[in-house]
Amino acid sequence: MLLDPILTTTLPAHLTAWCGLDAFIHAFEAATNRNTHRGAQFYAHEALRLLTASLETAVRDPGNLQARADVLLGSCYAGIAIDNCGTAVAHNISHALAGLASVHHGLATVLGFETTLGWLVDVDTADLNAAARACGLPGASDLPAFVSRLMDRCGVVRALPTGFEAFGAADLAAEMRAQENQPMRRSTIRPIGDADIDRFAASIMALPKTL
């Protein structure tokens, strides 16, 4: 495996942000879902620390090789974590969006993450709090505001591609319920009811379709 930050310096800022936040969510979901364990959390928590500290700099200053190296290493560690534990609700949404129209996976995932995070942290588990502390936060209840601010600082636009104009909330909800997306639904630490799916789908599909 080659992790060379020099190869990433010409990546546009929005792609750096989308990919880096996707890695952050990989680490977070692996560290907090029903399948998590201490071995995966060893990598996931270090990934969260690296990405929290370095992603904004990597987006704003693409020539900063230390920041980009830390983002790459964090992404690698997050990948190890999800190989062990899989993902959760944010990826259920992102995979469902991709079943409707063309969308960058990182963007779709971070939109799903922001939409569901406040709901998720209400369960206030030890794993959620440990992940929050890996981000430098006191506890899980601080995560939603922290993630939204990080998205703002990284320049993430809350919008979907124009190809989604043909679809509505019911279409996305149907994809979220599709058989291939159920493992991510089941692994989420808080049970996801059909009413939750409908609410999340409505929030996502209410976003502007301007990209």
Task: Indicate the DSSP class of residue 193.
Answer: -
What's the confidence (pLDDT) of residue 117?
Answer: 98
Three-state secondary-structure class, residue 160: strand
Q: Tell the burial category of 16 from Cβ atoms under 10 Å away from its Cβ (0-12, 13-18, 19+).
A: buried
What's the confidence (pLDDT) of residue 42?
Answer: 98
pLDDT (tens digit, 9 = 90+) per residue, 65-88? 999 999 999 999 999 999 999 999
What's the confidence (pLDDT) of residue 1?
Answer: 76
Token output for 179? 């058989």
DSSP states along 44-89: HHHHHHHHHHHHHHHHH-TT-HHHHHHHHHHHHHHHHHHHHH---H
- Distances, alpha carbon 21 to alpha carbons 55, 180, 188, 192, in Å: 8, 23, 19, 23
Query: Which regions of the chain are under pLDDT 70?
Result: none
What's the confidence (pLDDT) of residue 160?
Answer: 98
Answer yes or no: pTM beyond 0.95: yes
- Which residue has tokens 């063309």? 102
Question: How many Å from the N-terminal Cα to the C-terminal Cα in the chain?
Answer: 33
pLDDT (tens digit, 9 = 90+) per residue, 122-138? 999 999 999 999 999 99
Q: Tell the burial category of 65 from Cβ atoms under 10 Å away from its Cβ (0-12, 13-18, 19+).
A: middle
Question: CB-based contacts of 125: which residues, under 8 Å, 6+ apart?
Answer: 32, 140, 189
86 dihedral zone (left: phi>0; alpha: psi -120 to 50; beta): left
